[in-house]
């Protein structure tokens, strides 16, 4: 059985990271090394996101709410660049959007039997 968190880790987070990286580099002019430090990942990981090696999930891109997700990613990138939020907070916000929009059900192929709970932000250690 596939659990909601597995879908988030394998399908939602990679494309969200990929698009956030691309937005911050291309729109806001940050260097990949700076984005890597912001995300706490290697420069190679950011390079792979930028080249499309990581974060290619057609199931997310084919969802009816994909354009809204992209708008949310753009707003998240702006908040990160302006230091109005941290990466964990923005990833949680975008994950919540994906859950509420039905993307998890779409990727799973049917309604999930186990409903995904909201992540307890008070328990997240950064």
Confidence tier at 84 by pLDDT (50, 70, 90): very high
- Does 39 or 8 have the greater pLDDT score? 39
How deeply is 111 buried, as exposed, middle or buried, from its count of CB atoms within 10 A (0-12, 13-18, 19+)? exposed
pLDDT at residue 113 is higher than 60:
no
pLDDT at residue 124 is higher than 60:
no
pLDDT at residue 83 is higher than 70:
yes
Q: What is the mean pLDDT of the segment spanning 64-92?
A: 93
Residue 54 to residue 87: CA distance in whole angstroms: 18
pLDDT at residue 51 is higher than 70:
yes
Q: What is the mean pLDDT of the segment spanning 30-38?
A: 97
pLDDT at residue 95 is higher than 80:
yes
The pTM score is 0.80
Residue 12 to residue 6: CA distance in whole angstroms: 9
Contact 45, 36 (CB under 8 A): yes
pLDDT at residue 6 is higher than 80:
no
- Residue 109: what pLDDT? 65
Q: What is the mean pLDDT of the segment spanning 25-53?
A: 95
- Residue 13: what pLDDT? 86
């Amino acid at each position: 059985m596939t659990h909601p968190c597995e879908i988030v880790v394998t399908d939602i987070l990679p494309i969200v990271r990929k698009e956030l990286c691309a937005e911050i580099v291309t729109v806001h002019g940050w260097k990949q090394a700076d984005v890597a430090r912001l995300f706490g990942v290697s420069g190679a990981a950011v390079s792979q996101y930028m080249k499309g090696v990581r974060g290619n999930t057609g199931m997310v891109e084919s969802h009816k709410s994909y354009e809204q997700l992209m708008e949310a990613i753009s707003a998240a990138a702006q908040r990160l660049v302006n230091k109005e939020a941290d990466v964990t907070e923005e990833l949680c916000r975008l994950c919540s959007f994906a859950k509420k929009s039905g993307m998890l059900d779409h990727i799973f192929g049917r309604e999930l039997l186990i409903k995904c709970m909201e992540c307890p932000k008070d328990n997240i250690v950064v």
